[in-house]
């Protein structure tokens, strides 16, 4: 019975004028465009230097800063206040203030102070460029074997997510996670519209009056999207490799296993909503609501650990969170399946709960 | 003759609205049972309850010997159903629809293939085997829907206004198909608005405002109401209706 139903689903998808094209093109476009849109790499930070020391050491620091491609020293000012004016006028992003006596303190006390002030109107950009500058200065102090205390204004938090992505290339961070998003959109939305579509066209009535069992019906809806999910994620791997040279540090099989499990969870969620929705409109709206929350709470764009605890608690109900974790760990750190067992159990839990719910909420009778 | 449908005091309420009001009747094996009534009289609701698509508020019924309250999945194995709204898959071909539903009812692949060819020949649909269902004219669609509903040889077939919007010639052919099915021993439970079609039934019931106001053979009813035809009988009864069309 199941075979006939799956055959039918594939025929319908194949005959749709737009769906097969979308399924194939969407991962390409999304992976080629989105990493640039969601790019937090900081280029051309405009720096104003207030060098009150004018010593050989301060010169060496400035030369080191000049050597860095992401930092441009555009202005020199005498006072901090004048430098601040440039920031106010949005002609500079960062002030590096070397106080007088910097070199002396450095040689005599082996400890001197330096101020970095960053425009944090765009918080992400600000803290990342401050970190660039800070890294350069600590490099310098390591060479000289003494410490420079960098005073930050405002203070910043160094995020652990850069630990395995030393180049701070945002694409390495975003591409694996974007694959998760693409899988979510295709394998979440399509099933959500599927059952409700049959309700609107009247096909459901003919199915409901047949002896088809609930689990078989739900499986017949789940399996096609499972296979589509495998195709979509494979395209994702290919694009990541061809366009960005990104390949998993860990095993590709680990990624496949997790994407199979994840697809079952997100398609199951789509089917649950489809069971409750009485029209396309309702299904679209409900799905948007859930997917938006699931994506934003999952740590796709922002580090999960920097959310407040209550938000993390909500986010831990998002299967995306676990799969994005897995993708980043396998792609960047090379984690294996044993290290990812907590995520595996969490995703399997989602699959079980969501699909049981899908079976129970499918009503043949009203 | 054994009764394949037994209905006792069946009632369905939607809030304060009583769609089906305490109806009782029996349908015998192989009979063509016409279920008549104006729009909103409760025909479709009653039929949906018997098919296991809807739960009754009270009362009991057995279809094919199975209780509608606890054994609706068993009932579904033994019935065919053709809904008022065309419900085959429009984006599947003629043979694909037949294959799908035959498969759902557990028929074997080779049996499906050979029976499909015979059916298409009988219908004169050989050339349309590979046509998408949405491209068929309405009358052909209805014939196909009926054929699919009885393809798995059910004990009973429920037809909800099967000839709505169909031209007179195709309606005639449709009723020939109903007769053929009946001769094979399939019980036919059919709702209709066409009173000439009611004359083709072995027995008819006329529903007014959720209640069965008359039930007998067309001949008996005409005599009872001293009417020329069923149309007249229907008009006499339908006048009693206080319910607005819904």
Residues B78-87 pLDDT 10s:
999 999 899 9
The answer to whether the Cβ–Cβ distance between A4 and B99 falls below 8 Å is: yes
The partner residue sitting opposite B83, judged by closest CB among A3, A11, A205, is A205
Q: Answer yes or no: do A304 and A337 share one domain.
A: yes
Q: Answer yes or no: do A21 and A130 share one domain.
A: no
Confidence of residue A102 (pLDDT cuts 50, 70, 90): confident
Last residue of a domain, one of A147, A174, A207: A147
Minimal CA separation from B102 to chain A, in Å: 9
Q: Answer yes or no: do A103 and A135 share one domain.
A: yes
Condensed to tens digits (0 to 9), the pLDDT of residues A234-256 reads 999 999 999 888 899 999 999 99
Sort strands B211-216 and B203-208 into parallel, antiparallel or unpaired: antiparallel
Burial label for B169, CB within 10 Å (0-12, 13-18, 19+), is exposed
Confidence of residue A123 (pLDDT cuts 50, 70, 90): low
Q: Say which residue, B31 or A170, is predicted with more confidence.
A: B31
C-alpha–C-alpha distance, residues A8 and A5, integer Å: 5
**Any idea which residue has 């994407």 for tokens?**
A259
Q: Answer yes or no: do A92 and A241 share one domain.
A: no
The answer to whether the Cβ–Cβ distance between A210 and B106 falls below 8 Å is: no
Q: Calculate the alpha carbon distances from B163 to A186, B68, B79, B168 in Å.
A: 40, 27, 19, 9
Question: What pLDDT score does A157 carry?
Answer: 32
pLDDT above 90 for A136: no
Minimal CA separation from A185 to chain B, in Å: 24
Confidence of residue A42 (pLDDT cuts 50, 70, 90): low
The partner residue sitting opposite B81, judged by closest CB among A1, A203, A209, is A209
Q: Answer yes or no: do A328 and A196 share one domain.
A: yes
H-helix or E-strand spanning residue A133: helix A123-144
Q: Answer yes or no: do A188 and A281 share one domain.
A: yes
pLDDT above 90 for B5: yes
| Number of domains forming the structure of chain A | 2
Which tokens in the block code for residue A198? Answer: 């049959």
Which tokens in the block code for residue B160? Answer: 């909800």
- Is A159 domain-assigned? no
Q: Say which residue, A44 or B163, is predicted with more confidence.
A: B163
Question: What pLDDT score does B244 carry?
Answer: 61
Share of chain A above pLDDT 70, in %: 91
Which tokens in the block code for residue B123? Answer: 């219908």
- Closest residue on chain B to A217 (Cα): B104
Burial label for B199, CB within 10 Å (0-12, 13-18, 19+), is middle
Question: What pLDDT score does A147 carry?
Answer: 60
Q: Say which residue, A130 or A86, is predicted with more confidence.
A: A86
Condensed to tens digits (0 to 9), the pLDDT of residues A155-178 reads 333 333 334 454 556 778 888 888
Q: Answer yes or no: do A106 and A240 share one domain.
A: no
Q: Which of B132, B137, B96 is nearest to B116 (CA)?
A: B96
ipTM metric: 0.92
B216 has which bridge partners? B204
Q: Answer yes or no: do A17 and A138 share one domain.
A: no
Angle, alpha carbons A249-A253-A254 (nearest 5°):
70
Condensed to tens digits (0 to 9), the pLDDT of residues B130-142 reads 999 999 999 999 9
Q: What is the CATH number of the domain that holds A107?
A: 3.40.1710.10
Which tokens in the block code for residue B189? Answer: 């439970």
Q: Answer yes or no: do A140 and A195 share one domain.
A: no
Q: What is the mean pLDDT of residues B227-236?
A: 90
Count Cα atoms within 13 angstroms, Cβ side, for B202: 15
Confidence of residue A41 (pLDDT cuts 50, 70, 90): low
Phi first, then psi, for residue B19 (nearest 5°) are -75, -45
Residues 6+ apart with CB under 8 A from A8: A220, B89, B92, B96, B100
The partner residue sitting opposite B54, judged by closest CB among A201, A203, A366, is A366
What residues 89-108 of chain A have any CB closer than 8 A to a CB of chain B? none
- Closest residue on chain A to B53 (Cα): A365
Last residue of a domain, one of A147, A180, A215: A147
Mean pLDDT of all residues in chain B?
A: 93
Q: Say which residue, B163 or A125, is predicted with more confidence.
A: B163
Q: Which of B57, B37, B60 is nearest to B209 (CA)?
A: B37
Condensed to tens digits (0 to 9), the pLDDT of residues A276-325 reads 999 999 999 999 999 999 988 888 877 787 788 898 898 899 999 999 99
pLDDT above 90 for A153: no
Q: Is A16 on the interface with B (CB under 8 A)?
A: yes
- Is A366 domain-assigned? no
Minimal CA separation from B136 to chain A, in Å: 16
The reported pTM is 0.81
- Is A152 domain-assigned? no
Question: What pLDDT score does A154 carry?
Answer: 40
Mean pLDDT of all residues in chain A?
A: 85
- Is A119 domain-assigned? yes
Q: What is the mean pLDDT of residues A15-21?
A: 92
- Is A155 domain-assigned? no
pLDDT above 90 for B65: yes
Question: What pLDDT score does A145 carry?
Answer: 62
Q: Answer yes or no: do A94 and A203 share one domain.
A: no
Q: Residue A72's domain spans which residues? A: 45-147
Question: What pLDDT score does B141 carry?
Answer: 94
- Closest residue on chain B to A214 (Cα): B73
What residues 31-90 of chain B have any CB closer than 8 A to a CB of chain A? 51-55, 72-74, 76-77, 79, 81, 83, 85-90
- Is A153 domain-assigned? no
Confidence of residue B242 (pLDDT cuts 50, 70, 90): confident
Question: What pLDDT score does A53 carry?
Answer: 87
The answer to whether the Cβ–Cβ distance between B52 and A4 falls below 8 Å is: no
Confidence of residue B39 (pLDDT cuts 50, 70, 90): confident
Return the minimum-mean-pLDDT range out of A107-111, A311-315, A328-332.
A107-111
Confidence of residue A209 (pLDDT cuts 50, 70, 90): very high
Question: What pLDDT score does A150 carry?
Answer: 63
Q: Answer yes or no: do A91 and A30 share one domain.
A: no
Q: Which of B10, B8, B7 is nearest to B20 (CA)?
A: B10
- Closest residue on chain B to A364 (Cα): B53
Which tokens in the block code for residue A89? Answer: 């006028």
The answer to whether the Cβ–Cβ distance between B91 and A15 falls below 8 Å is: yes
Ranges of H-type helices in B184-228? 195-198, 218-224
Q: Which of B75, B55, B48, B65 is nearest to B13 (CA)?
A: B55
- Is A328 domain-assigned? yes
Last residue of a domain, one of A112, A147, A182: A147
The answer to whether the Cβ–Cβ distance between A211 and B53 falls below 8 Å is: no
Residues 6+ apart with CB under 8 A from B151: B80, B98, B101, B102, B105, B107, B115, B119
Q: Say which residue, A149 or B181, is predicted with more confidence.
A: B181
Which tokens in the block code for residue A28? Answer: 């390409």
DSSP assigned state of A333: I
Mutant choice from B80, B85, B100, B147 vs A, greatest count of A C-beta within 10 A: B100
- How far, rounded to the nearest angstrom, does the alpha carbon of residue A99 sit from its chain's CA centroid? 40
DSSP assigned state of A163: T
Q: Answer yes or no: do A131 and A187 share one domain.
A: no
Share of chain A above pLDDT 90, in %: 47
pLDDT above 60 for A232: yes
Instruction: List CB contacts (< 8 A) between A212 and chain B.
Output: 104
Sheet holding B3-14, edge to edge: B17-28, B3-14, B58-63, B66-67
Q: Which of A143, A141, A65 is nearest to A109 (CA)?
A: A141
B95 close to B129: Cβ distance less than 8 angstroms: yes
The answer to whether the Cβ–Cβ distance between A211 and B104 falls below 8 Å is: yes
C-alpha–C-alpha distance, residues B178 and B180, integer Å: 5
- Closest residue on chain B to A210 (Cα): B76
C-alpha–C-alpha distance, residues A236 and A241, integer Å: 9
- Is A160 domain-assigned? no
Question: What pLDDT score does A58 carry?
Answer: 85
């Amino acid at each position: 019975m199941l075979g006939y139903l799956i055959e039918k689903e594939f025929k319908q998808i194949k005959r749709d004028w737009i769906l097969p094209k979308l399924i194939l093109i969407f991962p390409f476009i999304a992976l080629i465009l989105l990493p640039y849109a969601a790019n937090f790499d900081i280029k051309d930070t405009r720096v104003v230097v207030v060098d009150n020391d004018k010593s050989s050491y301060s010169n060496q620091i400035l030369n080191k800063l000049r050597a860095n491609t992401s930092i441009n020293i555009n202005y020199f000012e005498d006072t901090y206040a004048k430098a601040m004016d440039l920031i106010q006028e949005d002609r500079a992003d960062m002030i590096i203030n070397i106080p007088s006596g910097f070199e002396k303190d450095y040689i005599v006390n082996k400890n001197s102070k330096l101020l970095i002030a960053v425009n944090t109107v765009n918080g992400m950009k600000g803290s990342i460029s401050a970190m660039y500058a800070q890294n350069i200065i600590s490099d310098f102090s390591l060479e000289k074997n003494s410490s420079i205390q960098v005073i930050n204004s405002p203070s910043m938090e160094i995020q652990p997510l850069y630990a395995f992505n030393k180049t701070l290339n945002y694409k390495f961070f975003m591409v694996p996670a974007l694959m998760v998003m693409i899988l979510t959109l295709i394998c979440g939305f399509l099933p959500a519209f599927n059952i409700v579509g049959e309700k609107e066209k009247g096909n459901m009535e003919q199915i409901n009056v047949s002896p088809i069992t609930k689990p078989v019906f739900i499986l017949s809806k789940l399996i096609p999207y499972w296979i589509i999910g495998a195709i979509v994620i494979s395209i994702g791997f290919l694009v990541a490799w061809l366009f960005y040279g990104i390949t998993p540090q860990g095993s590709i099989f680990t990624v496949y296993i997790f994407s199979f499990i994840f697809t079952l969870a997100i398609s199951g969620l789509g089917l649950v909503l489809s069971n409750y929705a009485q029209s396309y409109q309702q299904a679209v709206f409900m799905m948007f609501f859930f997917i938006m929350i699931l994506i934003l709470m999952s740590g796709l764009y922002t580090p999960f650990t920097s959310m407040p605890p209550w938000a993390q608690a909500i986010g831990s109900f998002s299967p995306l969170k676990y799969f994005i974790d897995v993708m980043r760990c396998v792609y960047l750190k090379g984690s294996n399946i044993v290290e990812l067992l907590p995520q595996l159990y969490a995703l399997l839990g989602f699959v079980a709960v969501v699909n049981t719910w899908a079976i129970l909420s499918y009503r043949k009778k009203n | 003759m054994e009764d394949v449908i037994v209905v006792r005091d069946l009632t369905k309420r939607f809030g304060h609205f009583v769609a089906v009001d305490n109806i009782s009747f029996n349908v015998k094996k192989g009979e063509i049972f016409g279920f008549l009534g104006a729009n909103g009289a409760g025909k479709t609701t009653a039929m949906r309850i018997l098919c296991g698509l809807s739960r009754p508020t009270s009362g009991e019924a057995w279809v094919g010997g199975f209780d509608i309250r606890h054994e609706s999945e068993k009932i579904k194995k033994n019935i065919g159903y053709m809904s008022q709204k065309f419900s085959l898959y429009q984006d599947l071909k003629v043979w694909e629809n037949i294959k799908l539903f035959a498969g759902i009812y557990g028929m074997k692949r080779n049996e499906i293939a050979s029976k499909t060819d015979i059916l298409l020949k009988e219908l004169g649909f050989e050339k349309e085997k590979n046509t998408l269902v949405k491209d068929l004219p309405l009358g052909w669609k209805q014939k196909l829907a009926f054929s699919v509903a009885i393809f798995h040889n059910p004990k009973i077939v429920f037809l909800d206004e099967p000839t709505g919007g169909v031209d007179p010639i195709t309606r005639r052919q449709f009723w020939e198909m109903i007769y053929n099915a009946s001769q094979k021993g399939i019980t036919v439970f059919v709702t209709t608005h066409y009173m000439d079609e009611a004359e083709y039934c072995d027995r008819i019931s006329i529903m007014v405002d959720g209640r069965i106001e008359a039930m007998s053979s067309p001949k008996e009813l005409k005599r009872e109401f001293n009417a020329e035809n069923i149309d007249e009988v229907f008009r006499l009864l339908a006048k009693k209706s206080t319910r607005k069309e819904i």
